[in-house]
A and B are shown apart, each in its own frame.
Chain A
Amino acid sequence: MKRAPVLTLLLLLAPALLLIGLLALYPILRVLALSLFRTEYGFADASFVGLANYADLLSDRFFRRATWNTVLFTLLATLFEVGLGLLLALLFHRRFPARRWLMPAVVFPFVLSTMVVSAIWRAWFHFDYGFLNNLLRALGLPPVKWLFDPDLALLSIVLVDVWQTTPIAFLVLLAGLQAIPEEVVEAARLDGAGRLQILRHITLPLLSGHLLLAALLRTIESFKLFDKVFALTGGGPGNATETLSLNVYRSAFRFAEVGYASAAASIMLVIAGLLAAVYARRIVQGGRG
């Protein structure tokens, strides 16, 4: 860390500040302000209602369910993705033939556009002709209502998300494993530690920073979940897969209740802010420590 003239700081930050101010800060402030109004669109036709939008939200079954769905999805997706990502990273950290060729293949789902991913899985989930149910029938098992059983639909979307984005967690954790000095592991092995012992007492503790990073990365993305639900179920059946993003979208664009949508969006912002605070602490500490 070194001191610098304020002007230098400003010049360095100017492009980023300008873009963020224009594209994010102004919209955020506007959303916060609009959440106190009843309006179809902007301030022109708005009437001030104080916190009434927030009060309405708390008793709105769709908003409550959307919050629950978002939390559940975020937890499940993060858990599975970091868990599987860890297993994959441990696997690919070892040397074996064709490793160089198999790795890009494992990462491939991540580079596909979410629209394409959703289209593929829509076809695979189809009750009558989908590949998954064809497979089940061929094995003599009953077909599964992947997307229209209210208890299962959200899990099906988790499955798609795990398939598509586990590579992110995998890459982060592989980078973490490669950063662990060989000597540490070697020394433990010479002391007679078994593979599991090394994993538990050496590898995992040293990897904790990356594990947290992977978990945060996935938490953030899962929390925003929109396009997969939009393309796969539209939030249905009923409201079984409606997420907060979709709830905001529907309030704003389908119901033209922008004040109400802004209140929901503000709640999302607060949650995002809390996550960000946890995150920023780590990064700032990382810089200082």
Chain B
Amino acid sequence: MRRALRGGTPLSAALLVTIIALAPIFWMVATSFKPPGEYVSTSLRLWPRDPTLVHYRELFAEGFLARLWNSLVVTAGSTALAILAAFPAAYALARLRFPARLDAAFLLLVLIVKLLPPIVVAVPLFQILRGLGLLDSLPGLILAYQVYTLPFAIWMLLGFVREVPWELEEAAMLDGAGLPRRLLLIVAPVMRAGIAATAVFVAVLAWNEFLFALLFIQTPSRFTLPVWIATFITEDETFWGKLMGIGLLSSLPVMLVVGYLQRWLVTGFGGTGR
């Protein structure tokens, strides 16, 4: 009996937390099925009286899939670029001795960039992208997102590289493996959980990014989902149904990935705290 109670207290606490965490999301889902007449209400009723799919039909008719594709492209591109550039850098920082403590200097630079409020570099970045002919394009956005994603990836991967036992590499070296082979065949596979966790966090950053997408993309057909979401809040009217529908649709892919990888997400942080 006592054991049951002790098992029950954490459960009820966790249920309470879950309800608080999910209530606004439940409201989001419910509102996406509400006909416009039910938005403005002083009742506590959450579920719509008269559910409708009209908002979803309109979202698909107005080009949800094209924006979804844009977001997928930008997210996949920025994640891949960030991991590919960050992995060798993180390895070097963790494993190799730098002359004159340049590693500390580089880390400091990476961290300043990580701490950098993006608004600070928005105008110069605009000019750089224009110079490269990448303004108003998805590759341009992928490049610009490295301001957020690259420092994050370097910093996170750093901890994981340190956890790869040096003996493994030593053994490979005795077999005559050079650095590129060791990186690809020993270090990367051993820290795959860490790479996965990093990739997920980087992807979430890119998936939800708003400011740069707002400033650097002009053509509506190239909008990513967050910028498209903002177009449903107009000065005359907020399209709550569509807004919440797109909120749900745009969160589902991330939720699926995070749910699938949740074990790695937690272990992913294990190495970074030390």
Is chain B in direct contact with chain A in the complex (CB below 8 A)? yes
- A residues lining the B interface (CB < 8 Å): 1-4, 6, 8-9, 11-13, 15-17, 19-20, 22-28, 30-31, 41-42, 88, 91-92, 94-99, 102-116, 119-124, 128-129, 131, 134-135, 137-138, 163, 171-172, 174-176, 178-179, 209-210, 212-213, 220, 223-224, 226-227, 231, 244-245, 248-249, 252, 258, 265, 268-269, 272-273, 275-277, 279-280, 283-284, 286-287
B108 within 8 Å of A (CB atoms): yes
B112 touches A16 (CB 8 A): no
Q: Which residues of B contact A175 (CB under 8 A)?
A: 266-270, 273
Q: Which of B25-74 contact A (CB under 8 A)?
A: 25, 27-28, 31, 39-44
Q: Which residues of B contact A109 (CB under 8 A)?
A: 21, 24-25
Closest residue to A212 on the B side, CB-wise?
B273
B42 touches A12 (CB 8 A): no
Q: Which residues of B contact A244 (CB under 8 A)?
A: 117
Q: A12-B92, A276-B111 are in contact. Are A174 and B116 (CB under 8 A)?
A: no
Docked CA distance A286–B240 (Å)? 48
B95 touches A105 (CB 8 A): no
B199 within 8 Å of A (CB atoms): no
A115 touches B94 (CB 8 A): no
B255 within 8 Å of A (CB atoms): yes
A226 touches B119 (CB 8 A): yes
Q: List 7 A-B contacts (CB under 8 A).
A: A91-B17, A108-B25, A113-B208, A116-B244, A209-B274, A227-B211, A273-B112
A57 to chain B minimum Cβ distance, whole angstroms, is: 15
Docked CA distance A231–B268 (Å)? 32
A213 touches B244 (CB 8 A): no
Q: Which residues of A contact B110 (CB under 8 A)?
A: 16, 20
Q: A1-B96, A258-B123 are in contact. Are A12 and B91 (CB under 8 A)?
A: yes
Q: Which residues of A contact B14 (CB under 8 A)?
A: 91-92, 96, 98-99, 102, 106
A199 to chain B minimum Cβ distance, whole angstroms, is: 15
Q: A116-B28, A283-B158 are in contact. Are A104 and B92 (CB under 8 A)?
A: no
Docked CA distance A30–B93 (Å)? 27
Q: A109-B24, A163-B21, A163-B24 are in contact. List 16 more A-B contacts (CB 8 A).
A: A12-B89, A20-B109, A22-B128, A28-B121, A96-B14, A98-B11, A116-B251, A171-B266, A175-B273, A209-B273, A210-B273, A224-B115, A224-B116, A226-B211, A272-B112, A284-B103
B121 touches A107 (CB 8 A): no
B99 within 8 Å of A (CB atoms): yes
Q: Which residues of B contact A26 (CB under 8 A)?
A: 124, 128
A84 to chain B minimum Cβ distance, whole angstroms, is: 9
B269 touches A176 (CB 8 A): yes
B167 to chain A minimum Cβ distance, whole angstroms, is: 13
B104 touches A119 (CB 8 A): no
- B residues lining the A interface (CB < 8 Å): 7-8, 10-11, 13-15, 17-18, 20-22, 24-25, 27-28, 31, 39-44, 81, 84-86, 88-89, 91-99, 103-104, 106-125, 127-128, 143-144, 146-147, 150-151, 154-155, 158, 162, 179, 204, 207-208, 210-211, 225-226, 229-230, 233, 238, 240, 243-244, 246-247, 250-251, 254-255, 258-259, 262, 265-270, 272-274
A133 to chain B minimum Cβ distance, whole angstroms, is: 8
Docked CA distance A28–B116 (Å)? 9
Partner of A128, one of B11, B25, B42, B117: B42
B104 touches A284 (CB 8 A): yes
Partner of B98, one of A9, A17, A42, A97: A9
Docked CA distance A41–B126 (Å)? 12
Docked CA distance A12–B251 (Å)? 35
A119 touches B247 (CB 8 A): yes
B11 touches A115 (CB 8 A): no
Q: A119-B233, A287-B94 are in contact. Are A27 and B240 (CB under 8 A)?
A: no
Question: Which of B7, B25, B117, B147 is most buried by chain A, counting CB atoms within 10 A of its CB?
Answer: B117
A120 touches B123 (CB 8 A): no
Q: Which residues of B contact A179 (CB under 8 A)?
A: 270, 273
Docked CA distance A269–B14 (Å)? 40
B170 to chain A minimum Cβ distance, whole angstroms, is: 10
B255 touches A111 (CB 8 A): yes
Partner of B244, one of A99, A120, A209: A120
Closest residue to A104 on the B side, CB-wise?
B259
Docked CA distance A95–B267 (Å)? 17
A284 touches B107 (CB 8 A): yes
A269 touches B116 (CB 8 A): yes
Q: Which residues of A contact B85 (CB under 8 A)?
A: 15-16, 19
Q: Which residues of A contact B86 (CB under 8 A)?
A: 16
Q: Which residues of A contact B269 (CB under 8 A)?
A: 171-172, 174-176, 210, 213
Q: Which residues of A contact B121 (CB under 8 A)?
A: 23-24, 27-28, 31
A1 touches B115 (CB 8 A): no
Docked CA distance A99–B211 (Å)? 36
Q: Which residues of A contact B93 (CB under 8 A)?
A: 287
B119 touches A2 (CB 8 A): no
B247 touches A106 (CB 8 A): no
A257 to chain B minimum Cβ distance, whole angstroms, is: 12
Q: Which residues of B contact A226 (CB under 8 A)?
A: 117-119, 211
